[in-house]
């Protein structure tokens, strides 16, 4: 059945929709924009947490994972902590250690937290086997499901380390722990023989807490457990909130800004639909009177005008739902990767609820002006429809006529006062279009600032490496940590280079000789153009209480030029200090000022947290420490600053000539590239902004068309007494120019405020704050240009009807009522 319904009201609705094509397009596009953004926002809010919560509840995940020193707290003492107030269930103690296995070709895997469990079940953290079986005897290991792939499969044999006498471990299964309590599992009896001096055996306890919905509640549970064991027994903790945030981080980051665009779209749709239907009623009074005179009831008139809005709205909804599903696909793919085999799609009820809500909004928006049409008396509607409008706006015409401006301009400036409701609709359209543009410019600038802050190495002029790749080496694969994260550890110092770094496969690949960092450092002092430099090693470390390896950047020398943006505290200034991101603090339940134990190779150090860094590098936080705390570490990269006025290319060539004979290389630093997720956010912001601006422009166009057609007789009189086409264009543009100025004055501050609300919310969604460099992105010149953009939007929306009015002949205009 047609959306117009049946009978005479349907014929009236179809006739009105066919005659007013601009009105039809405006409603369709506005509704499509609102529906598409609402589908994306609703979908992302659903997938941000629901899959993780389902898996966590199914596995009875651990709210708190705690590592203890078995020499300070025995098994019986740890078992008693499971009966503390606020603890509802516990499991363990399980022996655990950290290993760095290598495959049969000698290629190292990431460091793994290995836990000894006799079976995957338990009161807490019922590990789910995704393939294979559980470890039953010596030499067997179960890996996390994220490691399953062509290189590592069931039956593969790994060595526990790269040492010659390291025991072999056969992979018998793959499993998944929703709370991330371990990276691999084996029998408890094997943990002792696999432990090393740098990674001794620790005791792991798993707890479910009575209250664990907030970080404060988890910290309170941690404090109670720490108080129940001897001082120094608790080595580290891991909160389930960190795993939960990581699971939905890719989608959650986009929810605030997509929701903001959705709200803007919905509000603009209400404004546009109400304005369009109100304009149709205002300009069709005579038609309404005739309809009533030939027998239409007030209810039929109301239905006819509501249907004129509902029909194009249905077209917009039909187009908006698939568009929203299409925009949600990249975000769903990013979140789906967290769950492996779990397939994420747009929830069916989102595709049903959003269109239903959109229809309701359109009906309510159209109902108010449509009811006004239904209440109009027949005789009054016919009489008013035929008579010229008088009275309204006269005072404005007299007041503005005294201004020292051409009469067509003052006439145009007074025009909005004749139809204040229509003028208000145009004003709001300009304002919301300016809000969307201002917000989008700030959002893209903030995303650019995020990208640059996550790549401090790009601020250096020249990069000197201790390894020179062969000329025929293929390009390395993308980073494993995600599009926006820094590249994986380079394995510098004494670690063997990865296959990607060596330009081939691990077995039989060409491995270039690494230059002695001391000789490279000496070469840096030769060129006169070198201003300063510092050494850096990207690697992996073990952190007491944290499952798996943690990415680390170790610095040699004064690394202030390469510091990350900080949320609190200060950058490392010497030994014994560490800077960590917000997620590390949450994951370990620590704060700035606390001490954590890091282990690199077999060297451990207790470091004090002196700063909280801004880090959006994905699920794996990166810590920063001084290389002097870990004597085995040596830099594999030197970041060089050149003196003012000295070309970086010249310094790079001079350094390359010095370090290439040693086995290293020197190149200029290329500009930082935007990551995939950031580019996706930029593209979504651009698309949604263009839709909103188009809706605003079409809304202005529709209002000016109605106003121009309504005043065509007056324009004919003006033309008859000598008004030129250029003056006619000036009159029409002046009628919207003032509204454009006021709308811009309202829209720019509102967009500025919206940016200040949404961007911090995006940071909170991914578990971090936002530094000033990301928030303070507007300049006075940009704000001025954005304001002028609002005026230009208003003028562009009025340009077509202005041209139509200028081209209308005086005689034709005078014959038109």
Q: What's residue 750's pLDDT?
A: 93
pLDDT above 50 for 387:
no
Which of 117 and 264 is assigned the larger pLDDT? 117
Contact 183, 112 (CB under 8 A): yes
Q: Tens digits of per-residue pLDDT, 40-96?
A: 777 766 665 566 777 788 888 999 999 999 999 999 999 999 999 999 999 989 999
Contact 169, 158 (CB under 8 A): yes
* Residue 467's pLDDT band (cuts 50, 70, 90): low
Please state, in angstroms and rounded to a whole number, the distance separating the CA atoms of residues 529 and 525: 10
Q: What's residue 100's pLDDT?
A: 82
Among 370-379, 391-400, 586-595, 632-641, the least confident range: 391-400
Contact 364, 273 (CB under 8 A): no
> pLDDT exceeding 70 applies to what percent of the chain?
78
Q: For the chain, how many residues are written?
A: 817
pLDDT above 60 for 440:
yes
Please state, in angstroms and rounded to a whole number, the distance separating the CA atoms of residues 216 and 230: 23
Element (H, E) at 555: strand 550-556
The residue among 775, 767, 622 whose CA lies nearest residue 252 is: 767
Q: Tens digits of per-residue pLDDT, 587-623?
A: 788 889 899 988 887 788 899 999 998 887 655 678 9
Please state, in angstroms and rounded to a whole number, the distance separating the CA atoms of residues 98 and 80: 26
Average pLDDT, the chain: 78
Please state, in angstroms and rounded to a whole number, the distance separating the CA atoms of residues 561 and 640: 10
What is the three-class DSSP state of 208? Answer: strand
pLDDT above 60 for 814:
no
Contact 592, 539 (CB under 8 A): no
Contact 547, 442 (CB under 8 A): no
Task: Return the residue matching tokens 């792991």.
Answer: 204
Q: What's residue 305's pLDDT?
A: 77
* Residue 547's pLDDT band (cuts 50, 70, 90): low
Which of 628 and 349 is assigned the larger pLDDT? 628
Please state, in angstroms and rounded to a whole number, the distance separating the CA atoms of residues 271 and 702: 13
Q: In the 8-state DSSP scheme, what is residue 65?
A: E
Q: Tens digits of per-residue pLDDT, 490-517?
A: 333 333 333 333 333 333 333 345 678 8
Query: What is the rounded average pLDDT of the residues 332-361?
Result: 68
Query: What is the rounded average pLDDT of the residues 438-461?
Result: 81
* Residue 755's pLDDT band (cuts 50, 70, 90): very high
Q: In the 8-state DSSP scheme, what is residue 681?
A: H
Q: What's residue 506's pLDDT?
A: 33
Cis preceding linkage at 256, omega within 30: no
Query: What is the rounded average pLDDT of the residues 724-732?
Result: 81
Q: Tens digits of per-residue pLDDT, 701-723?
A: 877 777 777 676 667 777 777 77
Distances (CA, A) of 276 to 306, 420, 690, 697, 705: 11, 14, 21, 13, 11
Element (H, E) at 98: strand 87-99
* Residue 384's pLDDT band (cuts 50, 70, 90): low
> pLDDT exceeding 90 applies to what percent of the chain?
15
Residue 726, judged by CB atoms within 10 A of its CB (0-12, 13-18, 19+), counts as: exposed
Query: What is the rounded average pLDDT of the residues 298-302?
Result: 79
Which of 817 and 662 is assigned the larger pLDDT? 662
Element (H, E) at 535: strand 530-543
Please state, in angstroms and rounded to a whole number, the distance separating the CA atoms of residues 802 and 800: 5
Query: What is the rounded average pLDDT of the residues 383-392?
Result: 52
Those residues with Cβ within 8 angstroms of residue 614's Cβ, 6 or more apart along the chain or in another chain: 453, 564, 565, 566, 567, 581, 582, 768, 769, 770, 771, 774
The residue among 75, 96, 58 whose CA lies nearest residue 181 is: 96
Query: What is the rounded average pLDDT of the residues 412-428?
Result: 80
Q: What would the two tokens of residue 649 be?
A: 């290319």
Query: What is the rounded average pLDDT of the residues 774-795?
Result: 90
Which of 134 and 416 is assigned the larger pLDDT? 134
Query: What is the rounded average pLDDT of the residues 775-789?
Result: 91
Those residues with Cβ within 8 angstroms of residue 647's Cβ, 6 or more apart along the chain or in another chain: none
- What pTM was estimated for this model as a whole? 0.64
């Amino acid at each position: 059945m047609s959306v117009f319904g049946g009978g005479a009201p349907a014929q009236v609705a179809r006739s009105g929709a066919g005659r007013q094509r601009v009105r039809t397009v405006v409603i369709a596009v506005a509704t499509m924009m609102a529906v598409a953004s609402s589908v994306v926002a609703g979908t992302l809010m659903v997938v941000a947490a629901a899959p993780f919560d389902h898996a966590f509840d199914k596995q009875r995940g651990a709210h708190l994972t705690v590592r203890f020193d078995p020499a300070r707290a025995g098994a019986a003492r740890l078992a008693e902590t499971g009966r503390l107030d606020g603890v509802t269930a516990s499991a363990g103690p399980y022996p655990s250690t950290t290993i760095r296995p290598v495959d049969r070709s000698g290629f190292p895997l990431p460091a793994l937290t290995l836990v000894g469990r006799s079976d995957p079940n338990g009161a807490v953290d019922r590990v789910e086997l995704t393939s294979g079986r559980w470890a039953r005897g010596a030499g067997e290991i179960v890996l996390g499901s994220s490691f399953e792939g062509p290189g590592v499969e069931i039956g593969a044999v790994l060595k526990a380390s790269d040492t010659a006498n390291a025991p072999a471990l056969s992979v018998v299964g793959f499993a998944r722990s929703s709370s991330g309590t371990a990276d691999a599992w084996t029998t408890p009896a094997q943990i002792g023989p696999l432990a090393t001096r740098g990674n001794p055996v620790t005791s792991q306890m798993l707890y479910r807490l009575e209250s664990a919905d907030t970080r404060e509640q988890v910290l309170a549970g941690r404090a109670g457990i720490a108080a129940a064991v001897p001082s120094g027994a608790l080595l580290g903790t891991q909160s389930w909130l960190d795993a939960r945030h990581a699971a939905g981080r890719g989608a959650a980051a986009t929810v605030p800004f997509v929701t903001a665009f959705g709200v803007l779209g919905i509000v603009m749709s209400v404004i546009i639909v109400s304005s369009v239907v109100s304009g149709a009623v205002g300009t069709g009074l005579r038609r309404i009177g005739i309809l009533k005179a030939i027998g239409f009831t007030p209810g039929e008139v109301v239905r006819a005008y509501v249907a004129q809005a509902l029909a194009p709205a249905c077209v917009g909804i039909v187009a908006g739902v698939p568009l929203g599903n299409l925009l949600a696909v990249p975000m769903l793919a990013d979140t789906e990767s967290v769950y492996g085999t779990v397939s994420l799609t747009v929830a069916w009820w989102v595709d049903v609820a959003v269109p239903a809500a959109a229809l309701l909004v359109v009906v309510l928006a159209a109902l108010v002006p449509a009811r006004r049409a239904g209440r109009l008396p027949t005789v009054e509607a016919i009489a008013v429809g035929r008579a010229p409008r008088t009275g309204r706006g006269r005072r404005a015409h007299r007041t503005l006529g005294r201004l020292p401006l051409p009469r067509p301009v003052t006439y145009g400036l007074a025009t909005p006062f004749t139809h204040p409701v229509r003028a208000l609709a145009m004003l709001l359209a300009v304002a919301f279009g300016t809000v969307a543009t201002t917000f989008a410019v700030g959002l893209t600038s903030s995303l650019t600032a995020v990208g640059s802050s996550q790549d401090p190495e790009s601020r250096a002029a020249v990069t000197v490496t201790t390894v020179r790749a062969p000329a025929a080496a293929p390009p390395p694969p993308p980073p494993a940590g995600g599009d926006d994260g820094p590249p994986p550890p380079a394995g510098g110092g004494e670690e063997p280079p990865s296959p990607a770094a060596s330009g081939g496969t691990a077995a039989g690949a060409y491995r270039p000789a690494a230059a002695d960092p001391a000789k490279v450092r000496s070469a840096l002092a030769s060129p006169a153009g070198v201003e300063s430099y510092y050494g850096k090693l990207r690697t992996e470390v073990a952190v007491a209480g944290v499952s798996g390896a943690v990415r680390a950047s170790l610095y040699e020398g004064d690394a202030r030029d390469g510091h990350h943006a900080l949320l609190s505290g200060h950058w490392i200034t010497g030994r014994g200090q560490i800077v960590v991101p917000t997620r590390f603090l949450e994951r370990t339940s620590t704060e700035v000022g606390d001490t954590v134990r890091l282990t690199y190779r077999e060297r451990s150090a207790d470091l004090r947290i002196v700063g909280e860094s801004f880090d959006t590098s994905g699920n794996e936080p990166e810590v920063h420490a001084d290389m002097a705390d870990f004597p085995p570490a040596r830099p594999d990269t030197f970041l060089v600053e050149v003196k003012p006025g000295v070309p970086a290319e010249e310094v790079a060539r001079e350094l390359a000539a010095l370090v290439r004979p040693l086995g290293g290389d020197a190149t200029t630093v290329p500009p930082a590239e935007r990551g995939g997720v950031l580019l996706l956010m930029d593209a979504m912001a651009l698309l949604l902004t263009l839709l909103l601006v188009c809706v605003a422009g079409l809304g202005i166009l529709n209002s000016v068309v109605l106003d121009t057609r309504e005043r065509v007789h007056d324009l004919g009189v003006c033309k008859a007494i000598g008004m030129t086409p250029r003056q006619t264009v000036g009159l029409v543009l002046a009628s919207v120019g003032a509204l454009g100025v006021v709308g811009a004055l309202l829209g720019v501050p509102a967009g500025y405020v919206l940016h200040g609300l949404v961007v911090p919310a995006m940071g909170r969604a991914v578990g971090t704050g936002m530094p000033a460099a990301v928030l303070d992105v507007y300049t006075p010149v940009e704000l001025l240009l954005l304001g002028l953009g609002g005026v230009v939007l208003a003028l562009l929306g009025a340009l077509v009807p202005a041209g139509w009015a200028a081209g209308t002949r005086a005689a034709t205009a005078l014959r038109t009522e």
